[in-house]
Structures are given as structure tokens and as C-alpha cells.
Structure 1
Amino acid sequence: MRNETSGSPLYTVPSGIQTRWASPENPQAAKGAGGHANAGRKGAPCFPLAPGECKVLAEQASGSGTIRRIWSTLNDRSPEMLRGLRLDFYWDGCGSPAVSVPFGDFFGVGRGHTAAFECEFFSSPEGRSFNCYIPMPYRSGMKVTVTNTGEKQLNMFFYDIDYTVGDAHGEDVLYFHAHYAHLPATLLRQDYEILPKVSGIGRFLGTNVGVKADQERYFNVWWGEGEFKLFVDGDSDYPTLCGTGTEDYIGTGWELGTYSHRYQGCTVADHERMEFCFYRYHVPDPVYFHQDIRVTAQQIGTTSPEQRAQFRQAGTVLRCTGAEERYFDYVDEAKQQLWENFERSDDWSSCAYFYLNRPERG
């Protein structure tokens, strides 16, 4: 049996590699410096974080290593706090972060929600904690920080960052990156950009997405007919990799309910509030790029005949999908029996994860 993250069997000890745990009282994970507060009787398990304050969670000034696990919990897990805290990851002494993402979105659930779930990269056993298992290698140092960008004080921030030092990383080892995006109202016929164009060599790991559908304009009509598109290695107008719909991209069908599987799932499916959070991670189906990558999702809805009548009664103008500028026909009786797709605007947010052959995105 082999451990994929370390490349060595579970029953061997790799030469020259040591284990370190960064914690609130020992962010540098210094040898023999853990658990010393209050005479060793649990004196510093957490810290407060005031508005505007930044804390170093883990730091290695030089040398190679690999972050292997991150765990955290907060006494305030409100949407305001989960979106107000920001995590930043720096590799090899770089001045700009490879990761700069709201706390909650980084840990796999969007829109400031919590949920009990488990998948390949993230978990929250009872919906009260945050775990990440993505291996994050570096060659000459790392730093992880948390910043309170909100207006509310957090009283208790608990965490552990578990890593190894001394790892020998070959030339083919890539750096971990994450990209956060949010559009409160997407633009009609302009696909939402999960990952703007990134140049280099790497691997797209996947994304978690949060959607708040516009009920005021579209009622409770299904919003997820749009295709997920991955433009790789010179693709321009049309992608090489293209899915068939939102729920299809995450491995299910016919709209969304809650489930958490190893590589895909939907942690939030609130049909009353029309709020959804879901994920897809490309582990058994790797997405490699050798030149560049860009990832988008369309905002397309569909209507049943009954829903079409609801739009007609409300006087809503809906633009049909397709190259031609065409709108729903509420006069032709035959067309009233059609299911038809339409362009729409909703609130979308996402966190995309990928490896890249350099420590800064550039």
C-alpha cells in the first residue's frame, strides 16, 4: 500500500523527512515548543482576531516541505465571519500569495455556509469544523496567514497545520494555488469565470460553487442548464472540455439535492430560498494543461409550460438561448407547450483549485 501524498509506503520512514504541527502557540512549529503555555496545561489552544488584524498561522523561513493537512474551527461560524476571514498562502518567499480566499469558501462550502460532509479534499464531520487534505509542496519556505477583513471580532480561532519538512521535490512537482470569484449578478450571455486564464503547466483540481438564484425575477425556476467549459492549451472561442449542464458536471441529473461523494457533491440544496453549494474534483479524471487554462460556466435556465405561463402572467421578458437575438413568444399557443431554455443572471461565487509550475500566479 502506498500513500499517494508522500509517494512512500505507509510502513516506511522516508530518510531526512520530519513532521511538524503549527498551532496557535507555535506557528513556526519549532521543535519542543508546543503545548508549553500555562505550564503545559492547555493554555493557548486558540486566539482572538480583531477586525483588520492579520495572524501568521504557519511559517517556515527556508527549506522544503509539504503541507499535508489543515484543521480549524471557529466559535463564530456565521456567513459574515466565514466570508470576512481571508486565508493567504505564500510559497518560496514570494511577495504575492498563491491562495487568497475567504475562509469558508476555501474549505469547500460556498456562500458562508457550513455543512456536514466529506470528500477527497475537504471534510466537516459534524458541520462545525474545517478540514483540508490537499498536499501543498514548496521548495524554499512557506507562510500561511489569516486576516479578519470584516467588522466583527472573532473570539476564538482554533487550528492545526500539519506538514513535513525536508521533502525532496523534483522538477515536476507543482505549487498549489486557489482562485476565488464572486459576481452578485452575472451578465446575460457572458459566462461566469470560475478560473480566469492562467498560463503555464499545471493541473486543474476542480472547484466548489455557490449559487443564489434570482427569485424576484425568475421565481423558483431551475437555473442550472448551463455548460461547464474548460478551455485548455490555446482554446479560444470553443473549449476542448465541455459538460452538458450544472448537475451533470457534478455527477448527478435532473436538478440538485444534497449529497456528498468522494469527488462530487452538493452540500446545500435549499429549494425554498433557491440557494445551492456544490463541488467537483478531478482526481480519477485529471485535467492537465501544458500551456494555459480557463474555466467558465454558463447561466442558463429552462421552463416547463406551467412555468412559462407564470412568466407570461408576470410580464417577464426572457431571452432565448442561441446566436439569434430572440425572446420568448407568449402569443403563439403552440409554443406555450414547449420547454425552452433562456439566458439568466444570478449570484455566483466559486473557489477553484489548481497546481501550477511556479509559486506565484504571475
Structure 2
Amino acid sequence: MPEGHETRWTSFENPTGAKGTAAQVNKGAKGSAFGRIMAGDSCVLLSQQGPGIINRIWLTVSKRNPKMLRALRIKFYWDNSVVPAVDVPLGDFFGNPLSRTSRFENCFFSNPEKRSFNCSIPMPYRTGAKVVFVNTSDEDLTHLFYDINFTKLPEWDSEMSYFHAVWREDKSTKLGVDYTVLPQLSGKGRFLGVSLGIFANKAYETTWWGEGEIKFYIDGDKEFPTLSGTGVEDYIGTAWGQGEYSHRYQGCPIANADSCWWSMYRFHVQDPIYFHHDIRVTLQQIGGAPYQKVLELYKAKVPLVPVTIDRSGKLKFYRLLDEDSDLHITDKDFPPGFVNFYRQDHVTSTAYFYLDRPAV
């Protein structure tokens, strides 16, 4: 057993996490299992001084509809900073980027029966930690249950870094402009992973939306990245489309083609992404469909820009954005094949990462 490490929990039964002070009311018979968070109010779930590490967070709320999961927020502050390292909607933070719960389990998050939220990302702090739950909605939350499991440490380990998360949303991406998963930030750290949600634009009917490549610009990259994927479903470990699955480091808990909703995640545990000076992460919004369907959409004035044609049967591949390409989709001699094209969709994401300082 490590010397000087002390196990503590905070909950409404012991808000301070102090030794020997839990479950005091109602003679210890479940007297403070939950709290009520009124509209516009907030509640401190954890406030600690000195070095430590949060090991696990569990919570549940009485209202879990999409409106509330976006209006409820969770904030993390490290080392008495007034700027939060995390300020993310509750559903999004816990791996529900569509603000709709689903059953899933991965290495860091889980939701066993669509009613609870679990996180096991290690979150060390040097001089202090505060976790705040905020109800930004116009509705009272009658029940919040939670516990935060943490360890008080005798000292800070110089190899530790601070946990951060950034939530972003673009309700209509721009043609040919990459969606920003993680804005440019400076420092030394590790990109841990991403939770990503797609509300596919129904104007594109049933065409595939996930041909875009994720790109990591690290340590001075400007126009071109050092790391690039080959498609959304490739990035999360599947291929040739995307169904529902939940694996340890990658998964797609929601794949609803009828509603055009997809929820997915990827965590870089076995394949760490380190940065020493800076990082920026983007995702292209590119779809794909057979030529005749793309032409039909184009003539219907659905916004799109063709970028490639794959004629696999003829072993031909055309790059339409090269300077020497003069092909246009309405040309009579436009090669029939599978066409990838820029498109516009509703994208939302939470990026998780470690950084060498408590606030960005």
C-alpha cells in the first residue's frame, strides 16, 4: 500500500470528504443521499486543498432529457485557478454528445442502463481541486445523486499533468472548412481522445456523411498536419459504414440512420498522442455517394463540392481539387464512380487532454 495515500469520497452524505464525518444525519439512515439544484443555481461537488487525484466520478440526475443534459454543466478547477479546466454540458462530458443517453462502456466512461454517468479518467491536482455542478436551465432539478472518489497524496508527482476538456458545436459546418475539434493551444501535454456526435443533414438524404479525415497539427504544424486519418469510421476502428458497438477504446453507441444521428468515441490509450509545444485538431466534413446520386443532389441545389472520384472497377482515382483538374460534375464526360464531396452537417464534440498547467 502506498505510504501517505488516503482514500476519500465526497457526496451529499459527506460534502467535505473529511475523515469520520460521513452519513451523520437521520442517525446514518440515508439522510442526505441527494440534493436539489434549483434553476440557475450551482453546487460544489468537491473542494479540496493540497495534492491529490480524482479517480472516479459517478452521478445521476432525475431529468435526463436532451434539453437538460445540455443545460446542466460540470466544471473542474485545478490549483485554485479561477478559470475552469473543464466547462462542458453534463451529457457531452460523460460521452453522450447527442444529449441522448445510451448503454455503453469504454476505458473511461460508462452508462450501464442509460440512467447514470460514470467517469474514471485520472485527474491529478497539485494544490487544490474544485468540481462544480451548474443548472443553467429554467427548470428545477429535484434529484442529483453523486460521489467523487479521490486520493489525498503526500506530494505532487512531477510526471503528472492536469486534465482538461473542451466542448464545441457547429450546427451547420461550412463547405470545405474543417470543423475544429480542439482549437490551437500552447503547452506540453497529451491528447487523450474525443467524443463526437453527428446530426447528419437530411438534405443529403441517405448518403454517407463520414468520409472526412481527422487531422492533428502538432508542434509547429501550419498548413499541413503531422497526423491524418482516412475517414471517420476508420478513425473509430470500424470500416465501410458505421453501426452500433461499444469497445474499450473506440465505439459508436448510437447509429440511427432513420433519425440521422451518430454518437462515437475514440481514446488514444495504447497509441498516445503527445505534443511538446502546441496542438490543434480538426475534422473534415466530407460525404460520399455514387455519381448519379451526387449529381441529383447538386441539381437540387443541395450545397456540396465534389473532391474525388473512385472508379474502382477501372482502377481509376480522380483528385478533383488538384490544379490540373478541369472536371465538373455536370460535364457529360464526368467519370461515373463513387464521389466524395464536401457537405454541411451539425457536429458536436468534446476533446479530452492533459496539459502541463491547470488552466488554458
**Normalising TM by the smaller chain, what interval?**
over 0.9
Output the amino acid matched with 1:346: D
1:37 aligned onto 2:36? no
Output the amino acid matched with 2:206: N
CA distance in 2, matches of 1:312, 1:357: 48
Q: 1:323 to 1:348 in 2, by over 3 A?
A: farther
CA contact (8 A) 1:318 1:327 kept: no
Deviates more, 1:185-194 or 1:319-328: 319-328
Cα distance, 1:39 vs. partner? Answer: 1.7
Mapping for residues 17-166 of structure 1, pairs under 5 Å: 17-60=5-48, 62-166=49-153
1:357 maps to what in 2? 356
Normalising to structure 1: TM-score of the pair? 0.92
2:161 maps to what in 1? 174
Cα distance, 1:326 vs. partner? Answer: 7.8
Cα distance, 1:303 vs. partner? Answer: 1.4
1:246 maps to what in 2? 232
CA distance in 1, matches of 2:68, 2:326: 43
CA distance in 1, matches of 2:302, 2:350: 32
CA distance in 2, matches of 1:327, 1:346: 25
Cα distance, 1:312 vs. partner? Answer: 5.3
Cα distance, 1:75 vs. partner? Answer: 1.4
Mapping for residues 5-20 of structure 1, pairs under 5 Å: 13-20=1-8
CA distance in 2, matches of 1:274, 1:339: 21
1:214 aligned onto 2:213? no
CA contact (8 A) 2:207 2:289 kept: yes
1:338 aligned onto 2:333? no
Output the amino acid matched with 2:251: G
Mapping for residues 224-243 of structure 1, pairs under 5 Å: 224-243=210-229
RMSD of aligned Cα (Å): 1.7
1:5 maps to what in 2? none
CA distance in 2, matches of 1:85, 1:349: 16
Output the amino acid matched with 2:156: H
CA distance in 2, matches of 1:304, 1:26: 60
| SS at 2:21 equivalent | coil
CA distance in 2, matches of 1:158, 1:38: 17
| SS at 1:335 equivalent | coil
Deviates more, 1:217-226 or 1:95-104: 217-226
Mapping for residues 182-331 of structure 1, pairs under 5 Å: 182-215=169-202, 217-308=203-294, 310-311=296-297, 314-316=300-302, 318-321=304-307, 322=321, 329-331=329-331
| SS at 2:67 equivalent | helix
Q: 1:304 to 1:90 in 2, by over 3 A?
A: same
Output the amino acid matched with 1:329: I
Write out per-residue CA displacement over residues 188-230 of structure 1, whole angstroms, 9 at most, x where no aligned residue: 1110111001111100001000110110x21121111010001
CA distance in 2, matches of 1:156, 1:317: 45
Q: 1:315 to 1:231 in 2, by over 3 A?
A: closer
Question: Please, which runs of 5 or more residues in structure 2 have no aligned partner?
Answer: 308-320
CA distance in 1, matches of 2:13, 2:133: 15
Question: Please, which runs of 5 or more residues in structure 1 have no aligned partner?
Answer: 1-12
CA distance in 2, matches of 1:168, 1:317: 56
Cα distance, 1:40 vs. partner? Answer: 0.9
Q: 1:317 to 1:132 in 2, by over 3 A?
A: closer
Cα distance, 1:307 vs. partner? Answer: 2.2
Cα distance, 1:328 vs. partner? Answer: 5.4
CA contact (8 A) 1:318 1:328 kept: no
Q: 1:168 to 1:303 in 2, by over 3 A?
A: same
Aligned-residue identity in percent: 47
Normalising to structure 2: TM-score of the pair? 0.92
CA distance in 2, matches of 1:331, 1:323: 17
1:6 maps to what in 2? none
CA contact (8 A) 2:199 2:260 kept: yes
Write out per-residue CA displacement over residues 268-320 of structure 1, whole angstroms, 9 at most, x where no aligned residue: 10101111110000000000000111111000111114523542563435322
CA contact (8 A) 1:66 1:167 kept: no
CA contact (8 A) 2:97 2:263 kept: yes
1:3 maps to what in 2? none
